[in-house]
Amino acid sequence: MPAPGKKKITKRVPYFNRELSWLAFNRRVLEQAQNEAYPLLERMKFLAFVSSNLDEFFEIRVAGLLQQTESGVVEKGIDGLGPKEQLRRIHSIANRLVTDQYACWLNQLVPQLKQEGIYFKSRQELTRSELKWVEEYFENEIYPVLTPLAVDPSHPFPQLVNKALNILVYLDNPETPGKEEHMAIIPVPRILPRVVEVLNRKRQSRYHQVFIFLSDIVRMYAHRLFPGYRIRAANPIRVSRNSDLYIDEEEVENLLQKIEEELYAARRNAAVRLEIRDHLEPSLLQELLEAINLKRENVFPIEGPLNLVRLMSVYDMIDRPELKFAPFHAHTPPEIHHTDNIFEQIARRDFLLHHPFDSFQPVVDLLSQAARDPSVFAIKQTLYRTSGDSPIVKALMDASANGKQVTALVEVKARFDEMNNIQWARQLEEAGVHVVYGLVGLKTHCKCCLVVRREPQGLRRYAHLGTGNYNPKTARLYTDMGLLTAKESYTTEVADLFNTLTGFAREPVFKKLLVAPFNLHSKMQRLIQREATHARAGRPARIIAKCNSLIDQATIDNLYKASQAGVQIDLIIRGICGLVPGVKGLSENIRVRSILGRYLEHSRIFYFENGNNRADIFIGSADWMPRNFFRRIEAVFPIEEPDQREEITQALEIYLRDTTSSKILRANGAYTFPPKTRDEPFSAQEYFMAEAEKLRAQAEAAMNVEKTDTLNLKTAPPFIQPMGNPNLSPLAPSDSN
């Protein structure tokens, strides 16, 4: 007990700030661009990711903090930092990040690209013939679509569209210098490519390519738009705006229409960041800030081309395989590789797929075959994000055209994919698909598919449950896991989940599935607490969790308590992590690592050792964040087959062995490489790729043997022809797949 009159001092439990943790993640993305071990064009792509990530961060997270400071409604995070202090730290860290990003571009990538015959040139660097080509390109392709906007008492400052490229022009009359000054804006239409390849007629080799940024071209010839005036300055600028949608679903009758209206309004929402290239006179900058209602601390001066996201397009414009990652061809389990009846194979056994090392094609085949199969009566599907030419969407439309009952849960509030999802929702509705938008106030984020099929024994259901989106393109770029199953214990609850989403269910009961917001959070807390109980009793106790983010305070606090009880905890958290590891007496038994590599780690896996009993292993769609636990429909499910349990356990151990793509989170918030050992550097992703290549090679070898045997049968002499009906031809090699 404390002495009388003395206040008891309670040591504050430490947490990392969510926003600063995210910036630390984006710093690790930048490190991929700086990594000399990666192919040059892949490093350029990682540099584009840094910009794309920052755009979203400012549009959503920084915008929210600015709203708090302006409204006076303060919502502190688990670390206790208020919005003003967070903004101060964010701007300091983000400025350093942007400075280092452009240093990487200008001092590392541009010179190395030049050595490979890939040039990014300014006006001063263009040859005479290249300059002539650029001038013609401006006259023919750019000048006709530009519209200069004067800024004066009769022409108010124009509304600058979110993230659009604009050229801020400062002019004067050369005959009356200093007396007649004007400001103008040149909006650059989005339809114009932001990076232009200079197609010099003298170029003879694919190993010599010249590029110039569109902003540089417009700056070069801005005077053409203002005849009689002198250009004193022409600065590319870019304004980021608050893009978070606020929709009260209970007051909205037509959700699609309301979201379209909100998206249109988002183009004009409050400015949160100004990026500006090169030095701008203080008086002109102040006038600009007043026009867009932004404070000076939200200005990011850029020494280089604005919006490096545009480098993504350059990646596809350069046909240099030696400067990119070597192509990787995924493995597909032989039983479901080009099979004409995938249902027959899934009925025999479950299939666990680990993408992109295992192909996503079986998932596409499941839906494509379901669309054509006359025995299939109904298909139910969730769609959160999907590709522009999605075979999944096409299969659902085909199924509806073939008379099947098709229901699609389309999440039209998937951030930054709202317009895409609205487009697909309308196309699906026109094709006769029942499109629904889930439960009021909750995003549908679970990854589920259900097919109902008539078989001789009666109706049978087939399901796919996964950790990633139904997007064949990102399935080649993200690591995810999925389960194909016909087990009734799974499919019955998947059917109940869809009924919950499409109908009414106040308190649905799930025994096998862990579904947010109903039972996922409470079950995860009980599993963590159970490991602590095992540890205190001297039984084996271990937790391994792999997910994108960990910021839920209750989960972190229970992990702290489990660590104090002696549970060994390994967390593989790619992005945001609010837990502070390695603090004596609090989290000394917790280790946190982040893995960034060729593929984006996206799978969510949870392992609880469970004493001397069988371990509990789950995979699913949810991260350990409040939004996933309480504001989304998520589905996490157990892995029960022994071989699949072993596969996932081994995968987790392989991730924990990674020394080349891993960074270890320290108690001070820094991420450092794992301690060096005498062992060879080890990459988990490269290991999975190598294993997949082996399996694919084995399958192809077995297929070739089968084809050879078939050919031998066809060409064998009469006395060794196989017994049977002589009118039946042997299986053709092309059919043996």
Higher pLDDT among residues 249 and 734, named by residue: 249
Cβ atoms < 10 Å from Cβ of 335: 14
- Who's near 41: CB < 8 A, 6+ residues apart? 315, 318, 320, 323, 324
Please tell me the least confidently modeled range out of 256-260, 608-612, 714-718: 714-718
0.85 exceeded by the pTM?
yes
Rounded to an integer, what distance in angstroms lies between the CA atom of residue 268 and that of residue 246? 14
pLDDT of 466 above 50: yes
- Looking at the structure, do residues 121 and 269 belong to the same domain, yes or no? yes
Mean pLDDT of 321-349: 94
- Residue 463's pLDDT is what? 98
Do 550 and 501 belong together in one domain? no
- pLDDT for the residue 709: 53
179 with 138, same domain: the answer is yes
**Res 473 pLDDT > 80:** yes
Please check whether residue 12 lies inside any domain of the structure: no
Report the pLDDT value the prediction gives residue 487, as an integer from 0 to 100. Answer: 97
Residues 319 and 450 in one domain: no
**Residue 62 forms part of a structural domain:** yes
**pLDDT for 426:** 78
Which of 637, 660, 682 marks a domain boundary? 682
Overall number of domains in the chain:
4
- pLDDT value of position 154: 78
pLDDT tops 60 at residue 729: no
pLDDT, one tens digit per residue, over 525-552 is 999 999 999 999 999 999 999 999 999 9
695 and 676 in a single domain? The answer is no
**Over the chain, what is the mean pLDDT?**
87
Last residue of a domain, one of 257, 288, 323: 323
Same domain, yes or no, for 307 and 340?
A: no
Mean pLDDT of the 351-364 span? 97
Same domain as 627, residue 698: no
- 210 located within any domain: yes
Asked if 275 and 204 sit in the same domain, the reply is yes
Q: Report pLDDT digits (tens) over 138-166.
A: 999 999 999 999 988 778 889 899 999 99
Distance (Å, whole) CA 654 – CA 593: 13
Strands 616-620, 542-547: pairing is unpaired
Q: Which of 105-109, 193-197, 260-264, 564-568 has the lowest mean pLDDT?
A: 260-264
Is 13 domain-assigned? no
Residue at 590 is within a domain: yes
The model's confidence at residue 418, banded by pLDDT at 50, 70 and 90, is low
**Sign of the four-CA dihedral 525, 526, 527, 531:** positive
- Which residues are catalytic, by number? 445
Q: Tell me, what's the pLDDT at 281?
A: 85
**Confidence at 379, pLDDT banded by 50, 70, 90:** very high
- Asked whether the predicted pLDDT for residue 523 surpasses 60, the reply is yes
Residue 303: CATH number of its domain: 3.30.1840.10
- Same domain flag for 287 and 366: no
Domain boundary among 473, 492, 512: 512
Confidence of residue 384 (pLDDT cuts 50, 70, 90): confident
696 in the same domain as 564 = no
The pLDDT value recorded for residue 13 is 82
The rounded percent of the chain whose pLDDT value lies above 90 is 70
Look up the domain containing 567 and give its range: 515-682
What CATH number did the domain enclosing 556 receive?
3.30.870.10
pLDDT at 547: 97
260 within a domain of the structure (yes/no) = yes
| E-strand stretches of 199-290 | 209-213, 230-241, 271-277
In a domain, 6, yes or no: no
pLDDT tens by residue, 692-717 = 999 988 888 877 765 555 445 444 44
Shared domain for 245 and 133, answered yes or no, is yes
Please state, in angstroms and rounded to a whole number, the distance separating the CA atoms of residues 723 and 726.
8
Question: Is 249 in the same domain as 166?
Answer: yes
Q: What is the pLDDT of residue 205?
A: 66
- Whether the pLDDT of residue 106 is over 80: the answer is yes
Q: Is the dihedral of CA 107, 52, 279, 197 positive or negative?
A: positive
Does residue 9 surpass a pLDDT of 60? no
Are 58 and 97 in contact by the 8 Å Cβ rule? The answer is: no
Q: Is residue 10 part of a domain?
A: no
Give the per-residue pLDDT at 434.
Answer: 87
Q: Is the pLDDT of residue 677 over 90?
A: no
